[in-house]
Chain A
């Protein structure tokens, strides 16, 4: 029997077995400012960072996205950033920090700089590390202790994975995006339904996706609960990577691509389970509840509690969201719009949103912000004049970071405010205490900003 892509990468990085777990070598470790306790643990052990040159740090979770010439208002956030800077300096870890032209969300900067490469085993102290699987890397999100393990040893001890294939077939209708596919995957597999598994996304829909789309799709593997998600590398992957700062070049490129081209699941490999999704039936999708699996097509309605499998959970979600059940999605008003996050803040996302916003005005009473995923994305968007399009339409054009995705900085929605957000989590309080999050694609978010309520982006374009 053959092997799956994930199994091949696992086996290639397996150094041995230690008390029942596999010891895996980590090619690349990405770090951000919330991991200071991991460096603290290293200090307690008196250990250095084993491979600082295979470690890259950035600042994203708590950074302000307003005027960066001002001092950081929150003293704890400022201290946390300073601690990261000190740790990076002490240990010789490269830092794409505030003030760097490469600063950005950890899952945006990896692929963008060509750091993330096919066949790698990667780790990052963040649940959305699966994003990097879009390039064919096996990328694990871990907690602080395991960040410390990787810093100290460049290895992780992991229990074996189960394998889930998500086969997505068919062409997406105009106005339907990778985000809508990702929401469909979460709704099909279930919130947390892929626990213990690595997902391989396959099928014609995935093959036809751009790299940005694939990054969006793999990103939300976290919401399906998977330990990782990935896509076999192909010509799209190679043309995305070629020429990027840290991608191999010259003869190395030839050698690397020859190796990468072999990274695919064998025809006779077996998965523990297979899920099929017909992409031709998908519509632009809007979440109505407090888990990312609670979603409806834009043409649909918010369900009533009694129509769902779990009445009490739906009731609770509807109460939090200020909904009765039965409302048409397009009748839901929005107060806030957030275009950003590691799910949807790349150049293609911003182009798509700008195409909808161009020549329009953000509706009265709506506050809309665009937060590019990284400094290079921001620079590229500005070269293309997208910042002007957004500003003229009344969107705020901000500095890169996680921003309203988790609201650790001052970018939060108020209690009861309804937010159309291109991020990945609509949990209670995620975007601010009492804030109500509806997850959508960048196009749908921009259209909602203009209309003041959700609209079917296919009707406004």
Chain B
């Protein structure tokens, strides 16, 4: 995963709270064993409704999704993040997110941008008045700019760090091998171990 510093683009307004990952990536697309091919299925069920914002040509090509609070709630499926990225989103702006969703964003390079409710409202008003309006999300400065305003945003500093530098947790953890081995030696002898034989 490459590091991300800024995202600049147009917005897609999704004025709903509690958007859960079952909506973002419905279960019928979870049987795939690959990490790709999810972009076309984002919000599949909601897109059946012609009036759904994803079907509105004015917002085609938007790279910043603006949504209500508790975005990405529910299932831990990382497929939701993959789908949003593969559809073309680079950032999601919302008043709050579910923890697991943010964790998944940090692993895949989608920016979870937590803004004050007033900022959320201002961005919705902006895109409503001008669907072509651009926002800039600056992860280095934790700031979001739109034509008529600017605000800071919240992000877990560790998530910010991971996204800015495109950190790979496995490499970071493997560098600690010595300490992991030392820890494993200290574990109680009765700690659970499941032999493969007889497990079937």
Contacts and interface: CB of A to CB of B under 8 A. Distances in A.
B31 A54 contact: no
B2 to A, nearest CB: 15
Nearest to A254: B190
Contacts of A47: 170
Nearest to A193: B70
A127 B76 CA distance: 5
Given A143-B100, A428-B22, A16 B190 contact: no
B194 A143 contact: no
Nearest to B23: A428
Given A148-B170, A428-B23, A246 B192 contact: yes
Given A157-B173, A406-B27, A100 B33 contact: no
A25 B180 contact: yes
Given A15-B183, A83-B33, A316-B16, A153 B74 contact: no
A52 B18 CA distance: 37
A191 interface: yes
Interface stretch (A32-40, A205-213, A263-271, A363-371): A32-40
Contact of B179 (A15, A28, A430): A15
Interface stretch (A88-96, A300-308, A353-361): A88-96
Contacts of B77: 34, 143-144
A429 B156 contact: no
A320 to B, nearest CB: 11
B183 to A, nearest CB: 5
Contacts of B33: 36-37, 40, 79-80, 83
Interface string A76-102: 110110010000000011111101101
Contacts of A94: 194-196, 199-200
A435 B152 CA distance: 40
A310 interface: yes
B22 A427 contact: yes
A27 B192 contact: yes
Contact of B23 (A93, A406, A427): A427
Nearest to B80: A143
Interface centre among B22, B79, B81 (most CB of A within 10 A): B22
A126 B188 CA distance: 27
Nearest to B160: A20
Interface in B3-23: 16-18, 20, 22-23
Interface in B170-200: 170, 172-176, 179-180, 183-184, 187-196, 199-200
A324 interface: no
Contacts of B192: 27-28, 54, 115, 117, 120, 246
Contacts of A83: 33
A430 B100 CA distance: 19
A380 to B, nearest CB: 20
Contacts of B172: 18-19, 157
Contacts of A61: 30
Contacts of A227: 99-100
A159 B187 CA distance: 23
Interface in A408-429: 408, 425, 427-429
B50 interface: no
Contact of B161 (A19, A144, A433): A19
Contacts of B194: 53-56, 94, 115, 246
Interface string B142-159: 000000000000001111
A95 B74 contact: no
6 contacts: A15-B179, A23-B173, A37-B78, A145-B108, A408-B28, A427-B22
Interface of B: 16-18, 20, 22-23, 26-28, 30-35, 45, 69-70, 73-79, 81, 96-100, 103-104, 107-108, 156-159, 161, 167, 169-170, 172-176, 179-180, 183-184, 187-196, 199-200
Given A25-B187, A145-B78, 12 more contacts: A19-B167, A34-B77, A36-B33, A47-B170, A80-B33, A93-B196, A96-B200, A152-B173, A191-B70, A192-B70, A192-B98, A291-B18
Interface of A: 15-16, 18-21, 23, 25, 27-28, 34, 36-37, 40, 45, 47, 52-56, 61-62, 74, 76-77, 79-80, 83, 92-97, 99-100, 102, 115, 117, 120, 125-127, 141-146, 148-149, 152-155, 157, 159, 191-192, 195-196, 222, 225, 227, 246, 248, 252, 255-256, 259, 291, 310, 313, 316, 406-408, 425, 427-430, 433
